[in-house]
Amino acid sequence: MRKALDIALKDVKRTFRDLPALATMLAAPLVIAVVLGSAFGGDKGFSIAPTKVVVADLDTPATAAAPDSGAAAAAAPTQATEDSTANGGSVGSAVVQALTSEGLQALLVVKQVDTQKQATDQVDAGEAAVAVIVPAGLTAGLQSGDTAGEITLYRDPTKTIGPGIVNAVVQRVIARVNGAAAAGGAAAQLAVADGVTKPADIGPLASQAAQSYLQQAQARPAMAVDAREPKVSAADKTKDVGVAGPVLVGMMIFFMFLAASNVARSILDEDANGTLPRLFTTPTPRGVILAGKFTSVFLTVLIQAVVLMVAGKFLFHIDWGGLAPITVLTLVGAGVAAGFAVFLMSLARTPGQAGAISSGVFLVMALAGGNFIGTANPGGIFGTVRLITPNGWLLKAWDTTLRGGSLGDVALPVVVVAGFALLTFLIGVAVFRRRFA
Amino acid sequence: MRFVEVRRLHKQFDPPKGTVAVDDLSFGIEQGEIYSLLGPNGAGKTTTISILSCLLRPTGGEATVAGASITGDPAAVKRALGVVPQELALYPDLTARENLAFWGKMYGLRGQQLDTRVDEVLALIDLSDRQKDRLESFSGGMKRRVNIGAALLHKPRVLFLDEPTVGIDPQSRRAILDGIKDLNRAGTTILYTTHYMEEAQELSNRIAIMDHGKMIAEGTHEELVRSVGEEATVTLSVDRDLDRSLAIWCSVEGVTSAEAQDDRARLLVGDANAVVPRLFETANREGIRITGVNVAEPNLETVFLALTGRALRD
Ligand SMILES: Nc1ncnc2c1ncn2[C@@H]1O[C@H](COP(=O)(O)OP(=O)(O)OP(=O)(O)O)[C@@H](O)[C@H]1O
Ligand SMILES: [Mg+2]
């Protein structure tokens, strides 16, 4: 139907005009692949002059935010149990800690200042490429659950890569914190189900759950790639795949899910800002309108995947494998990302809720699926656990393809992933059709 | 049958306990007419428009638009209809032209025909020179005009406009009202909602006054005003002797009643033009100093006040 395609193309156009969205879709996976690649001790081609970053962490109490808190913060998680306002517990310190983490030291030079003005002044004066401003009271606001805070990136418009890295890192922290907020919410709900009714009792439970989620996430940081070499099992084809391909595939799949949820969220956005109701007043059947929205999700991640693969080929000389398997894998990958995104959006009432749910779920799926350790089969229980997620199956299939496997070799994962895609998509469509009937 | 026919329409949100937003509403609009729904916030204007544009299902009653039933044949209703929603419903990151082209496609226009119509509508809303700019860079009044333009591409036979002039400057408002009159002259039947009585008065052939989901009066502006009597209210302030002044004015020819209200004299008079000079003459003779005067001819505001005991605007 022409109109469905018109709707989808309109969305794709809007996405490609949205610079922050593009940075997350395209720049972030490439940059993180570079970072992870160098952590693997890979190609020499991965070298970038370090970017100067200023951080104004107004969120963490002054005592904790000493100028050299990089090292201090790294040791913080244990003490956070005692005192929830200590630096280990604040979003601000989590950002600082992530930016100063070991893997990024060659890429980012981080300096802390006390005020927002000092930070932006340094960028204006060209002394730093990007300023990260964590507003005062962000953590407290999130814990009490009544304010949605915002971390500001103030960047030198002429620099791209450095701010891109910083953006990606901050995004990750935010995803983690959103997960924590979700955990807090879940704990509060469980408590209510168990008969706890006083708000004064629920609050602490929620913040406890959020705290412990944060600590777990910190104890097991997504990028701590303990320098594991890709293990090649005897059954695998034996082509040498290098590091760039596996690493980029991991990032690509993770960011495809994020991009898909971004686009799928526009269904809720359009509902909230009136364009969806307005579409319903035109002589366009509702089914066609929803089909258009779903097509736009699929199309966007498909374009994203193709761009990333082409970039990988030219920037990192990745040999992706046979045309047939990579085409099919790209299609089912985009399909499953779109399906999951539509499904998760259908569970949310508001765009804000949708953002929190999807970034939480996709981060957990990526952690469980092994997106942050490339395509290598980690073996052991983790090798089994990851197959609960479509991410795990996709990584397994891409590993085979990168090693020169044929379409037949990836048939099982392809079928499983397509199943995931179909199931989530159908549930999502059913829910949306009912909601907008 | 009238071009738009509404019979005993009823809408309750979240029944059985929710708000009854539209309550037993009936009216008809002739082809070529401008018909206004005038009512305060929460009167049910937007809910009525949403039902008539097949966005909401009524919980009772029936309506037809251009001969098609809103429940039986919504597709036909939507083809005949252009809807300008109360809130801006556009894409801020697309240009004016792209927005219009997109909505044109949703009404089934393509290719050369679409291009021509987009050009025509851009000229109509006077934004041809800004067509390549994104909407986010537009002023409030310009966005409002695009919001209207997006409903005009397919030359609808019926146009619903839901408070299209809220929150904009007098100049843009003037342009919009004139544009609506032009569309009507070209044959478009229009249902207009507003809570500005001046707009209802200027535009409409007929006006329905709504309150709490119900229609409380309907007719031409003259009919409505006449229904509450034709007397004007003259309010006079005096520096002292209010009681004596009232007693004197009471007997002036043409004054039907006089009473004190908030330290001022409030008189009902038949023909203000003839009576007011007489009031001044008498005051002069009696040595009463008038420090302020206000003449209010009867208007829709008076009608609303007479029917509900409340002011139209809060
Ligand atoms: N989706 C909804 N759910 C529940 N109640 C609603 C909903 N939409 C409107 N209402 C209620 O219905 C009543 C009529 O609202 P409506 O928006 O139709 O008024 P209106 O005349 O358009 O007012 P305004 O001039 O402020 O736009 C109000 O009491 C409102 O609170
Ligand atoms: Mg309204």
Please report the ipTM that was assigned to this predicted complex: 0.87
Tell me: cis bond preceding B16? Omega within 30 of 0 counts: yes
A253 C-beta neighbours (distance < 10 Å), count: 30
A134 forms beta bridges with A57
Nearest residue (by CA) to ligand 1, atom 2, is B13
Q: Is the pLDDT of residue A341 over 70?
A: yes
- Protein residues with C-beta less than 5 angstroms from the ion ligand 2: B 45-46, 86
Distance (Å, whole) CA A387 – CA A395 = 10
Is the separation of the CB atoms in B254 and B271 below 8 Å?
yes
B143 is in which domain, residue-wise? Answer: 4-226
Q: Is the pLDDT of residue A336 over 70?
A: yes
Is the separation of the CB atoms in A249 and A400 below 8 Å?
no
Task: Output the six-digit token pair for A211.
Answer: 């705290």
Last residue of a domain, one of B194, B226, B258: B226
Q: How far is the CA of B48 from the centre of ligand 2 (A)?
A: 9
Residues of B in contact with A273 (CB under 8 A): 87, 89
Name the one residue in this structure whose structure tokens are 């929710």.
B18
Is the separation of the CB atoms in A243 and A38 below 8 Å?
no
* Selection from A116-125, A162-171, B127-136, B227-236 with the highest mean pLDDT: B127-136
Query: What percentage of chain A has pLDDT greater than the value 90?
Result: 27
Do B60 and B158 fall within a single domain?
yes
pLDDT tens-place string over residues B254-273: 898 888 888 899 898 888 88
Q: What is the largest CA-CA distance in chain A?
A: 62
Query: Count of domains in chain B?
Result: 2
> pTM for this structure?
0.70
Which residue from A286, A191, A246 is spatially nearest to A398, judged by alpha carbons? A246
A17 C-beta neighbours (distance < 10 Å), count: 12
Q: Which among B79, B89, B110 is the nearest to A278, CB-wise?
A: B89
Residues of A in contact with B106 (CB under 8 A): 3, 6, 279, 282-284
pLDDT, greater one: A201 or A66: A201
Do B86 and B235 fall within a single domain?
no
Across the interface, whether the CB atoms of B94 and A10 are under 8 A apart is answered: yes
Contacts of B74 (CB under 8 A, 6+ apart): B54, B68
For residue A9, the chain B residue with the least C-alpha distance is: B102
Distance (Å, whole) CA A135 – CA A190 = 31
- CB contact B88 to A (< 8 Å): yes
Nearest residue (by CA) to ligand 1, atom 8, is B47
pLDDT band for position A259 (50/70/90)? very high
pLDDT tens-place string over residues A369-407: 888 776 666 667 777 888 889 999 999 999 899 988 889
- CB contact B106 to A (< 8 Å): yes
A226 C-beta neighbours (distance < 10 Å), count: 6
pLDDT, averaged across chain B: 93
Across the interface, whether the CB atoms of B55 and A273 are under 8 A apart is answered: no
Nearest residue (by CA) to ligand 1, atom 4, is B13
pLDDT band for position A29 (50/70/90)? confident
pLDDT, greater one: A159 or A310: A310
How is chain B split among helix, strand and coil, in percent rounded to 5?
40, 30, 35
Task: Output the six-digit token pair for B269.
Answer: 């008079």
What does DSSP assign to residue A227?
A: T
Q: Report the nearest atom of ligand 1 relative to the CA of B13.
A: 4
Nearest-Cα distance to chain B for A282, in Å, is: 6
Q: CB within 6 Å of ligand 1 — which residues?
A: B 13, 18-19, 21, 39, 41-47, 86, 195
Residue B305 lies in a domain: no
Residue B201 lies in a domain: yes
Across the interface, whether the CB atoms of A13 and B88 are under 8 A apart is answered: no
Q: Is the pLDDT of residue B114 over 90?
A: yes
Q: Note the ligand closest to the C-alpha atom of B213.
A: 1
Sheet holding A130-134, edge to edge: A108-113, A51-57, A130-134, A152-155
pLDDT band for position A104 (50/70/90)? confident
Residue B17 lies in a domain: yes
- CB contact A10 to B (< 8 Å): yes
Which pLDDT belongs to residue A98? 82
What does DSSP assign to residue A147?
A: -
Is the separation of the CB atoms in B177 and B198 below 8 Å?
no
Last residue of a domain, one of B170, B199, B226: B226
Is the separation of the CB atoms in B143 and B173 below 8 Å?
no
Q: At what angle do helices A161-193 and A91-99 cross, to 10 degrees?
A: 140
Do B164 and B268 fall within a single domain?
no
Task: Output the six-digit token pair for A429.
Answer: 């469509």
Is the separation of the CB atoms in A44 and A332 below 8 Å?
no
Residue B306 lies in a domain: no
Listed as own residue / partner, the contacts of A19-22 with beta carbons closer than 8 Å and 24 or more positions apart are A20/A167, A21/A259, A21/A262
pLDDT tens-place string over residues B237-250: 998 889 999 999 98
Distance (Å, whole) CA B42 – CA B22 = 10
Across the interface, whether the CB atoms of B106 and A279 are under 8 A apart is answered: yes
A59-68, A89-98, B35-44, B66-75: least confidently modelled range: A59-68
Q: Is the pLDDT of residue A51 over 90?
A: no
Q: How far is the CA of A260 from the centre of ligand 2 (A)?
A: 34
For residue A278, the chain B residue with the least C-alpha distance is: B89
Nearest-Cα distance to chain B for A276, in Å, is: 8
Residues of A in contact with B105 (CB under 8 A): 2-3, 6
If phi > 0 it is left, if psi is from -120 to 50 it is alpha, else beta; for residue B108 that is left
For residue A7, the chain B residue with the least C-alpha distance is: B102
Q: Which residues of B19-49 are buried (b: 16+ CB within 10 A; e: fewer)?
A: ebbbbebebbbeeebbbbbbbbeebbbbbbb
Average pLDDT over residues B276-296: 91
Do B154 and B279 fall within a single domain?
no
Residues of B in contact with A284 (CB under 8 A): 106
Do B197 and B211 fall within a single domain?
yes
Q: Is the pLDDT of residue A64 over 50?
A: no
CA distances for A24 relative to A27, A99, A156, A167, A256, angstroms:
6, 17, 17, 8, 10
Across the interface, whether the CB atoms of B107 and A283 are under 8 A apart is answered: yes
Last residue of a domain, one of B196, B226, B256: B226
Residues of A in contact with B150 (CB under 8 A): 278
Is the separation of the CB atoms in A287 and A433 below 8 Å?
yes
Restricting to B residues 126-155, those with a Cβ less than 8 Å away from any Cβ of A are: 150
Do B31 and B103 fall within a single domain?
yes
Residue B309 lies in a domain: no
Average pLDDT over residues A312-337: 91
β-pairing, B60-65 with B68-69? Answer: antiparallel
Residue B304 lies in a domain: no
Residues of A in contact with B78 (CB under 8 A): 281-283
Residue B62 is part of a domain; what is its CATH number? 3.40.50.300
Do B216 and B246 fall within a single domain?
no
Do B94 and B9 fall within a single domain?
yes
Which pLDDT belongs to residue A155? 79
Distance (Å, whole) CA A404 – CA A395 = 14
Which of A6, A282, A296 is the best residue to mutate to test the B interface, defined by the most B CB atoms within 10 Å of its own CB?
Answer: A282
Q: Note the ligand closest to the C-alpha atom of B22.
A: 1
Nearest residue (by CA) to ligand 1, atom 10, is B21
Q: A192: helix, coil or strand?
A: helix
pLDDT band for position A243 (50/70/90)? confident
Residue B90 lies in a domain: yes
Residues of B in contact with A282 (CB under 8 A): 78, 103, 106-107
Contacts of A324 (CB under 8 A, 6+ apart): A406, A407
Residue B307 lies in a domain: no
* Selection from A186-200, A374-388, A393-407, B51-65 with the highest mean pLDDT: B51-65
Nearest residue (by CA) to ligand 1, atom 22, is B46
Q: Which among A2, A275, A281 is the nearest to B83, CB-wise?
A: A281
Is the separation of the CB atoms in A266 and A273 below 8 Å?
no
Q: Is the pLDDT of residue B110 over 80?
A: yes
Pocket test for ligand 1, best of B11, B46, B199, B314 (most atoms within 8 A of CB): B46
Task: Output the six-digit token pair for B54.
Answer: 């097949």
What does DSSP assign to residue A113?
A: E
Contacts of A257 (CB under 8 A, 6+ apart): A337, A340, A341, A358, A362, A365, A366, A391
Q: Which among A2, A13, A277 is the nearest to B55, CB-wise?
A: A277
Is the separation of the CB atoms in B99 and B142 below 8 Å?
no
CA distances for A426 relative to A344, A398, A414, A433, angstroms:
12, 25, 18, 10
Is the separation of the CB atoms in B88 and A274 below 8 Å?
yes
Nearest-Cα distance to chain B for A297, in Å, is: 17
Which pLDDT belongs to residue A236? 40
Pocket test for ligand 1, best of B19, B48, B51, B53 (most atoms within 8 A of CB): B19
Domain A51-217 belongs to what topology? abc type-2 transporter like fold (3.40.1710)
Sheet holding B206-211, edge to edge: B81-84, B158-162, B189-194, B34-38, B206-211, B214-219
What does DSSP assign to residue B289?
A: P
Helix (H) or strand (E) holding B209: strand B206-211
Restricting to B residues 56-75, those with a Cβ less than 8 Å away from any Cβ of A are: 75
Distance (Å, whole) CA A389 – CA B19 = 45
Task: Output the six-digit token pair for B187.
Answer: 């044959």
> C-alpha B113: how far from its chain's center?
33
Cα dihedral across residues A85, A87, A92, A94: positive or negative: negative
Q: How far is the CA of B42 from the centre of ligand 1 (A)?
A: 5
Q: What is the largest CA-CA distance in chain B?
A: 79
Q: Is the pLDDT of residue B3 over 90?
A: yes
Do B87 and B123 fall within a single domain?
yes
β-pairing, B81-84 with B4-12? Answer: unpaired
- CB contact B55 to A (< 8 Å): yes
Q: Is the pLDDT of residue B97 over 70?
A: yes
Q: Where in chain A are the domains?
A: 2-45+240-435, 51-217
Across the interface, whether the CB atoms of B94 and A13 are under 8 A apart is answered: yes
